[in-house]
Amino acid sequence: MTTKTRAFESPGKYFQGPGEMQHLEAYTADYGKTVYAVTTPSFVDRVRRTLVPEFEKADRALICEKFGGQTDMEELKRLTVAAEAAGAEAVVGIGGGKALDAAKYVGIQLTLPIVMVPTIVSTDAPTSALSATYTAAGEHAGSIYYKRNPDVIVVDSQVIVDAPARFFAYGMGDALSTYFEAKAHVDHDVKNRVGDGYQTTLAAMALSELCYTTLMAKGVKAYQDVVAHRLTQDVEDIIEVNTLLSGIGVESAGCAAAHALNSGFSALSECQDASHGEIVAFGTLCELVLEDWPRKTIHQVMDFNLAVGLPVTLADIGLSSDDKARLMRVAQKAFTTKHIAAVPKATAPEVLIEAILQADRLGRSMRTRLDQ
């Protein structure tokens, strides 16, 4: 019998619950006296008011650095230089996905412990061993992959519920792709993201499937609860889906067509107003069409997207189906990513374009029926 080495990776520790942000000092107690926090601008005052005093009581320092808003290389290098000058012994990211990605970059460059404190759950950035980079103009410039995941993730579920509900939906859009992309890797025997030649573990595949089944069972109700600012068990479950389950699925399996298309669509100026989760949600529909998934599954995903305000058509992410030149640019960009290796049928950009157009037609048809 010939077998392959299987591999699994994940963050070191994960804490989730209401009020958990206030325990940041305790969760970083083993990481030295000086902690450098890359903080989204909207949370700077709160961090200085509520968290800095907790560190001072413990005779430690929490240095709160305002994130510049974009993970372009100039900003990433600025933060790294500032953290080193401050004598940082650990790096914390507090904010959305880009602030967290910036903190990961700093921690990796300085070989320091990395702690993630998301204030929204719009992506699985807290879990991942990468930083998505962008140009100053907002075009996706590629991802920097690391050999380790964050050491600790601290998710304050009350903070998540207090954020605008659209971010919660965006996270579900990102998580929506996890199972299908992981399955593409397994079904087509593509190496996983842990390293060269490694096979995806049963654990990673099971968590990826749990990600999808939990979204379908609880996602719509959880979204409604967040809209009403209610912290419920369904909300807690979907927070875990958006961060931990989706993140492990990506880390220990990988991405496929949905994220390849995200790279393509985000390269267009028309899509700059669409979030990562929105683009991935539509990209997931394109992947299902491309891989000839049963129409029942495609309709289930479309129903879900419509119920939580996620895209089902090209127009929803700012594009027209008539602009074939723009779609060709999307497809060609998608084919430059490593994710395309997990796609079984996209043998040419033209095939990918046809899948995009078919998904768009199905989405428009479903929306028309609902409007009648």
Q: Tens-digit pLDDT profile for the chain (372 aa)? A: 678 889 999 999 999 999 999 999 999 999 999 999 999 999 999 999 999 999 999 999 999 999 999 999 999 999 999 999 999 999 999 999 999 999 999 999 999 999 999 999 999 999 999 998 988 877 778 789 899 999 999 999 999 999 999 999 999 999 999 999 999 998 888 888 887 778 899 999 999 999 999 999 999 999 999 999 999 999 999 999 999 999 999 889 889 999 999 989 988 989 989 999 999 999 999 999 999 999 999 999 999 999 999 999 999 999 988 888 999 999 999 999 888 888 887 678 999 999 999 999 999 998 888 776
Does 259 show up as a binding residue in the annotation?
yes
Does 81 show up as a binding residue in the annotation?
no
Q: Of the candidates 161, 188, 213, which is a domain's last residue?
A: 161
Determine the pLDDT at residue 338: 86
4 in any annotated domain: no
Does 128 show up as a binding residue in the annotation?
yes
Does 310 show up as a binding residue in the annotation?
no
Does 187 lie in the same domain as 152? no
Determine the pLDDT at residue 188: 86
Q: Answer positive or negative: Cα dihedral of 277, 279, 285, 289.
A: negative
Determine the pLDDT at residue 139: 72
Does 162 show up as a binding residue in the annotation?
no
Does 360 lie in the same domain as 333? yes
Does 348 show up as a binding residue in the annotation?
no
Helical spans, DSSP H, in 58-164 = 73-85, 97-109, 157-162
Does 263 show up as a binding residue in the annotation?
no
Q: What are the Cα distances from residue 190, in Å, to 5, 39, 199, 323, 349? A: 13, 37, 8, 33, 20
* CATH number of the domain that residue 321 is part of: 1.20.1090.10
Q: Write down the pTM of the prediction.
A: 0.94
Does 209 lie in the same domain as 152? no
Which stretches of 75-228 are assigned E, i.e. beta strand?
Answer: 90-95, 114-118, 130-134, 140-145, 152-156, 199-200
Does 244 lie in the same domain as 144? no
268 in any annotated domain: yes
C-beta separation of 69 from 98 below 8 A: yes
Q: Of the candidates 139, 161, 183, which is a domain's last residue?
A: 161
Does 100 show up as a binding residue in the annotation?
yes
Does 228 lie in the same domain as 139? no
Does 322 show up as a binding residue in the annotation?
no
Does 213 lie in the same domain as 137? no
Does 272 lie in the same domain as 198? yes
Does 292 lie in the same domain as 252? yes
Q: Cα torsion at 348, 352, 354, 359 (round to 10°)?
A: 170
153 in any annotated domain: yes
Does 124 show up as a binding residue in the annotation?
yes
Does 353 show up as a binding residue in the annotation?
no
230 in any annotated domain: yes
Measured from the Cβ of residue 372, the count of other Cβ atoms closer than 10 Å reads: 5
Q: Which residue has the tokens 């050999």?
A: 147
**Domain ranges, residue 20:** 13-161
Does 173 lie in the same domain as 146? no
Does 303 show up as a binding residue in the annotation?
no
Does 206 show up as a binding residue in the annotation?
no
Does 360 show up as a binding residue in the annotation?
no
Q: Of the candidates 127, 143, 161, which is a domain's last residue?
A: 161
Parallel/antiparallel/unpaired status of strands 140-145 and 130-134: antiparallel
Does 289 lie in the same domain as 145? no
Which tokens in the block code for residue 150?
């964050």
197 in any annotated domain: yes
Structurally, the chain folds into a number of domains equal to 2
Determine the pLDDT at residue 372: 65
Does 180 lie in the same domain as 39? no
Nearest to 292 by CA among 187, 178, 213: 187
